[in-house]
């Protein structure tokens, strides 16, 4: 049964050859994947222009009552910055709608919003099956509800390098961002709001006080969420520049952790082969992991399975 699926894995790699794109846009592949609670989510995947070196990842999360098409102005700048980009329709939106999730979203049910981390986890599990991506360089970009969901997810997944939120709020459908941002040690955060949006500007100012690494940017153009990308044509390039700088360059000092603990392991550790692949997370260096509150393992781990198997003793079967 779909509801018994433990982890999110690819269900359909392509729903069609390519999604609709403009002449100058990178081609999108329509994909779908399943969440741990059995929902099928639709998304567009934009592979990187180059496969060597592996590309950093950007996952884009739209706002309430929107869908993945709202990110069109940002795709080209991210693609030009070298990213592999995944835009998904969150549960209750776009092509990821079911009657139950649509009704719960319409009722602003905090329970369905709390489950958005499953959507992000499913998106991550899918994109990390793509051979051209660099799992150690990972950005999240969200608009209003999607931004709040990105901040909440990043408190659980310390491999997230940076988060961009368009039109932040102190509370969004049960997600309290004030409790989340202090947990984002070692991560870059950019909050963008319209100067005329008093509520979002005030939220940005308060969140900056809670975490020194947060940057707030107020723009003259009016709008909310992803509308800001069309209201200010320069914003998309500034966001792409921000996330490119935040994820950094490819690293040869990668260390390995998991999403469910705060310990990292050096390459070659016996623990790595025992990790659930869905839980594995990569950091660009020991210093990066430690800046995010992840400590080095005290143990090199068990020996390999071959080394663990003792040789038969003489005189015994």
Strands 10-12, 29-34: pairing kind: antiparallel
Strand segments (E) across 168-231: 171-172, 175-176, 188-194, 214-219
Q: In the predicted model, is pLDDT for residue 11 greater than 80?
A: no
Q: What is the pLDDT of residue 303?
A: 66
Taking CA atoms, 128 is separated from 59, 62, 134, 241, 293, in Å, by 11, 21, 8, 23, 23
Backbone angles phi, psi at 263, to 5 degrees: -130, 140
Backbone angles phi, psi at 139, to 5 degrees: -120, 145
Strand segments (E) across 47-154: 55-61, 84-88, 133-143
Domain spans of the chain, in order of start: 2-247, 255-308
Indicate the helix (H) or strand (E) that contains 165.
Answer: strand 162-166
Instruction: Give the pLDDT confidence of 76-88 residue by residue, as tens digits.
Output: 999 999 999 999 9
Other C-beta atoms within 10 Å of 24: how many? 6
* DSSP letter assigned to residue 128: T
* % of the chain with per-residue pLDDT over 70: 87
CATH node for 2-247: 3.40.50.1820
* DSSP letter assigned to residue 272: G
Task: Report the first-to-last Cα separation within the chain, whole angstroms.
Answer: 45
Q: What is the pLDDT of residue 299?
A: 85
- Confidence (pTM): 0.87
Q: Please state at what angle helix 72-80 crosses helix 235-247, rounded to 10 degrees.
A: 40
Residues 246, 248: Cα–Cα separation, whole Å: 5
Q: Tell me the pLDDT of the chain averaged across its residues.
A: 89
Strand segments (E) across 35-99: 40-46, 55-61, 84-88
Residues 6 or more apart whose CB falls under 8 angstroms from that of 98 comprise 39, 91, 92
Mean pLDDT of 155-170: 98
pLDDT grade for 4, boundaries at 50, 70 and 90:
very low
Instruction: Give the pLDDT confidence of 212-244 residue by residue, as tens digits.
Output: 889 999 999 999 999 999 999 999 999 999 999
Lowest mean pLDDT among 102-106, 195-199, 205-209: 102-106
């Amino acid at each position: 049964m779909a509801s018994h699926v433990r982890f999110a894995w690819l269900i359909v790699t392509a729903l069609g050859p390519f999604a609709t794109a403009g002449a100058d846009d990178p081609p999108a592949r329509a994909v779908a994947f399943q969440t741990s609670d059995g929902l099928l989510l639709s998304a567009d995947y934009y592979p990187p222009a180059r496969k060597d070196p592996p590309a950093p990842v950007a996952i884009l999360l739209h706002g309430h009552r929107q869908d993945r098409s709202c990110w069109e102005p940002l795709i080209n700048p991210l693609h030009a910055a070298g990213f592999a980009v995944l835009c998904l329709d969150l549960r209750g939106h776009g092509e990821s709608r079911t009657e139950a999730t649509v009704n719960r979203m319409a009722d602003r049910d905090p329970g369905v919003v709390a489950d958005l981390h499953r959507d992000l986890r499913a998106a991550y599990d899918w994109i990390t099956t793509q051979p051209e991506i660099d799992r150690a360089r990972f950005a999240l970009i969200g608009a209003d509800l999607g931004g709040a969901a990105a901040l909440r997810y990043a408190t659980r997944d310390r491999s997230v390098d940076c988060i961009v939120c368009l039109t932040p709020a102190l509370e969004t459908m049960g997600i309290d961002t004030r409790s989340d941002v202090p947990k984002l040690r070692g991560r870059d955060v950019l909050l963008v709001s319209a100067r005329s949006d008093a509520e979002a500007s005030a939220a940005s100012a308060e969140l900056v006080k809670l975490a020194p690494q947060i940057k707030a940017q107020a723009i003259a153009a009016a709008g909310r969420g992803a509308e800001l990308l069309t209201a200010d044509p320069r914003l998309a390039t500034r966001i792409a520049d921000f996330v490119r700088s935040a994820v950094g360059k490819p690293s040869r000092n990668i260390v390995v952790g998991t999403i469910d603990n705060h310990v990292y392991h050096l390459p070659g550790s016996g623990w790595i082969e025992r990790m659930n692949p869905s839980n594995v997370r990569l950091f660009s260096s020991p210093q990066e992991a430690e800046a995010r509150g992840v400590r080095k393992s005290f143990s090199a781990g068990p020996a390999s399975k071959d080394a663990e198997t003792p040789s038969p003793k003489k005189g015994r079967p």
